Each structure stands twice: as structure tokens, then as C-alpha cells.
């Protein structure tokens, strides 16, 4: 089924002839696999799919793309695919404004992958990767939903694949079940200790919360620099490059109820802050920073996480993603005690020959300087 500008819009994963709105993207035509491609994806269609798909995350929503393109040097290059059987899927894709690269999503901006009313199929993945090759960019990277990693690996279609991991808590049964049956007993004791010591938890969805979080983040970077005997300005520069302030301002400005900055106070002073995201069935622990010495003594971080998980349960979320641990075993163990299971997180890259050679060189160097690199990150 092919569509052209001026024809009916797509709604909720199907083509609805009764809907009068035109497509706003340009129709790139039909691929060799029979899929019609429209780019950028019409925002109303994209939003309908993000609303209808129980597995969609906030990273796959149109407002997340708006914030990304506001805070980082990318533009919306999303792809809408109409399968031969009429199914509609969207690939959130951000293209760098200067460099010949694109990603779904860029590093530090969560995961992407195909979004449809129902889970994508192997033939959808193959058609998507084939389409991305036609863009003739140096590199196009896709990081799909970790819960769909096995299917993407099977259908990778000669793309370069790198494997990492994330840790996710299954919240089925609600918070009471989680507290009594899933959470480690030692963690429950730490939460009770924080409560006895008078640690207070609050949240904010605006600029005030971002101010508190970013202040703690800068202090955390300074403490990290001192502990590793590295220059504070260097570590602050690297930290700001990874997570610039404008990134959090842009996200908090458009996400509304999907964004909360959670703050732990002790004796009235903020000692820890964490950013929680939520959309549909998925909640995400996005970023965190704290005063290390005080939170260790008060167990504020354990209480903070439990309040965030309790809120996710109250919203009806099924999953709580605690994020990657960069292979740090102590951090992975910490998350396991919250009940988080390990899921494979794939990164598939469609690359030019020159980019592939550069990737091979980078992988070789990373393997040998990894321990040194971790000192600076």
C-alpha cells in the first residue's frame, strides 16, 4: 500500500481512509522489500503509535525528539514505514546537522528502535536496516528496546552489532508485592534506616528540580575527580559534555508529567537527586547524583529509589529500567538487590566502509585503554 502527500493520514497503526489529514513528511518511495517510507514521520501518527504501544518508552515519543533537537546538534530524520500488509511503524531517528551520522537514539539519549501498534517482526527490522543503508551516511546506529534484543539480533541483516546490558525490574503485582517479595531484605532495612534518620523525599517537575540535580551533579564530579586524583576542571568538562545543562532544561520543559526530579533532603539540605521518566508501561531511572559521604551514612539513595519505584507502580507501570552499569560489577550487584534482572542491550550500526574501519580501530583501542578511560568517566 503506497501513500502520497495529500492522501489520508495513518492512525494508530492502520491506514484510516476516513481521516482527512495529509502526510507532512516527504514520501521517499517504495523500497525493494515493498515498504513505503515517509520522512520525517508525521507527528500525529507517531504520537498515536507511542500511545497505543504498551511497550513504547518515553525515548520513542515525538516530544523526546523535540527536546533532543533543541539541546543537541541533531534534526528529526524519523522514518515512517508502511508494510506491504498495511501495518505502520515509526523509527525515531536523529541526524547530526554537520556530521554524516544518525542514531536511534544518540548516546546519552536512551534507546530507540521501531515503534508500531504491535511488536515489530523480523521482516520489519530487515526492511528498516536496508532502508537505512540507502541514506548513504557514514554511520547509522539503532539501539532497540532491550526486551526486543533477541529478535533484532536474529534479523540484524549484516549490521555491526555491539552488546551491552541494562537492568530492569518487573513490577507485576504492584508495590506491596515488590516490597515484600522482590526487594532484598537488606535493602528494606536500609530504607527503614533512612526513614528513621529523617531523610525526606520530594519531587519537582520544573526548573527548580533541575537546578538542584545539576548542582549535586557538579559536586559529584568534583568528588570523583578528587578521589581519582584528577583535575576538577577536566572532569567537569567531560561531565558537561556528556550531560550538558541544556539537555535537562529542554527535556523538563516538554515532557510534563513524564518527568520528575526526585530529591532527598537530610537536615533540610539536598543530598541526592534522581531523574525519573515514565511513559505507558515503562518507567526509567534516567540520571542520579548525590553527596557520597552523606548518602552512605543515611541510606538516602535506597529510600529515593524505592519512592521512585512506588510512584511507577502507582502510575501502573510494569517495568522500571535502572539503566546500564558499564560493566561495573559492584553497581550491577547493587541493582540486583533491588530485584533488577539483566537484559541484553544491542547497538546495531549500518556503516560505510571507511566508518567500519574506524570502528574496528576504535574497538581495538578501547579494549586496551578501557581501564584508563574509566578513570575519566
Break the chain into its structural domains and give their ranges.
10-163+346-375, 172-317
Q: Which helix (H) or strand (E) holds 204?
A: strand 200-204
Choices 3.40.50, 3.10.450, 1.20.1070, 3.40.630: CATH for 10-163+346-375: 3.40.630
Three-class SS state of 375: helix
Q: What is the DSSP string of 103-115?
A: EES-TTS-----E
Model pLDDT, residue 7:
36
Strand, helix or coil for residue 64:
helix
Secondary structure class of 343 (helix, strand, coil) = strand
Rounded Cα gap, residues 173 and 241, in angstroms:
40
Predicted confidence (pLDDT) per residue in 21-69, tens digit = 344 455 565 555 799 999 999 999 999 999 998 889 999 999 999 999 9
pLDDT the model gives residue 368: 58
Reported as a single tens digit per residue, the pLDDT across 91-129 is 999 999 999 999 999 999 999 999 999 889 999 999 999
CATH architecture of 172-317: 3-Layer(aba) Sandwich (3.40)
CB-facing half-sphere around the CA of 89: CA atoms within 13 A: 24
Strand runs labelled E in 48-130? 74-76, 79-82, 88-91, 94-96, 101-104, 115-116
Q: How confident is the model at residue 305 (pLDDT cuts 50, 70, 90)?
A: very high
pLDDT at residue 26, as a whole number: 57
Q: Tally the residues of the chain.
A: 377
Record the pTM.
0.86
| DSSP labels, 239-288 | HHHHS-HHHHHHHHHHHGGGEEEEEEEETTEEEEEEEEEEETTEEEEEEE
Angle at CA 143, nearest 5°, toward 137 and 146? 165
Residue 249 CB neighbour total at 10 angstroms: 17
The number of CA neighbours under 13 Å toward the Cβ of 80 is: 34
Amino acid at each position: 500500500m503506497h501513500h502520497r502527500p495529500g492522501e489520508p493520514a495513518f492512525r494508530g497503526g492502520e491506514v484510516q481512509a476516513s481521516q482527512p489529514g495529509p502526510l507532512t513528511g516527504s514520501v521517499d518511495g517504495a523500497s525493494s522489500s515493498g515498504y513505503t517510507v515517509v520522512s520525517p514521520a508525521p507527528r500525529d501518527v507517531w504520537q498515536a503509535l507511542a500511545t497505543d504501544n504498551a511497550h513504547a518508552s518515553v525515548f520513542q515519543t515525538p516530544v523526546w525528539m523535540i527536546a533532543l533537537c533543541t539541546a543537541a546538534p541533531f534534526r528529526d530524520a524519523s522514518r515512517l514505514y508502511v508494510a506491504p500488509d498495511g501495518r505502520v511503524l515509526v523509527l525515531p531517528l536523529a541526524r547530526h546537522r554537520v556530521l554524516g551520522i544518525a542514531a536511534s537514539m544518540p548516546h546519552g539519549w536512551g534507546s530507540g528502535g521501531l515503534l508500531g501498534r504491535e511488536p515489530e517482526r523480523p521482516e520489519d527490522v530487515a526492511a528498516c536496516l536496508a532502508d537505512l543503508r540507502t541514506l548513504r551516511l557514514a554511520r547509522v546506529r539503532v539501539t532497540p528496546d532491550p526486551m526486543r534484543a533477541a529478535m533484532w539480533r536474529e534479523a540484524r541483516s549484516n549490521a555491526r552489532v555491539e552488546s551491552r546490558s541494562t537492568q530492569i525490574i518487573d513490577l507485576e503485582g504492584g508495590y506491596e508485592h515488590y516490597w515484600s517479595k522482590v526487594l532484598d531484605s537488606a535493602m528494606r532495612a536500609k530504607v527503614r534506616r533512612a526513614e528513621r534518620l529523617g531523610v525526606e523525599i520530594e519531587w519537582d517537575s520544573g526548573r527548580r528540580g533541575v537546578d538542584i540535580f545539576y548542582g549535586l551533579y557538579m559536586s559529584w564530579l568534583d568528588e570523583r575527580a578528587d578521589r581519582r586524583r584528577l583535575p576538577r576542571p577536566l572532569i567537569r568538562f567531560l561531565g558537561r559534555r556528556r550531560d550538558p545543562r541544556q539537555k535537562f532544561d529542554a527535556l523538563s520543559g516538554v515532557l510534563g508529567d513524564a518527568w520528575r526530579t526526585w530529591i532527598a533532603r537530610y537536615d533540610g539540605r539536598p543530598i541526592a537527586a534522581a531523574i525519573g521518566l515514565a511513559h505507558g508501561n515503562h518507567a526509567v531511572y534516567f540520571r542520579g547524583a548525590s553527596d557520597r559521604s552523606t548518602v552512605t551514612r543515611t541510606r538516602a539513595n535506597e529510600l529515593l529509589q524505592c519512592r521512585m519505584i512506588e510512584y511507577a507502580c502507582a502510575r501502573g507501570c510494569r517495568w522500571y529500567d535502572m539503566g546500564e552499569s558499564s560493566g561495573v560489577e559492584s553497581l550491577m550487584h547493587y541493582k540486583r538487590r533491588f530485584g533488577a534482572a539483566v537484559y541484553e542491550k544491542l547497538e546495531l550500526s549500518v556503516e560505510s566502509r571507511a566508518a567500519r574501519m574506524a570502528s574496528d580501530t576504535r574497538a581495538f583501542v578501547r579494549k586496551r585503554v578501557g581501564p584508563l578511560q574509566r578513570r575519566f568517566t
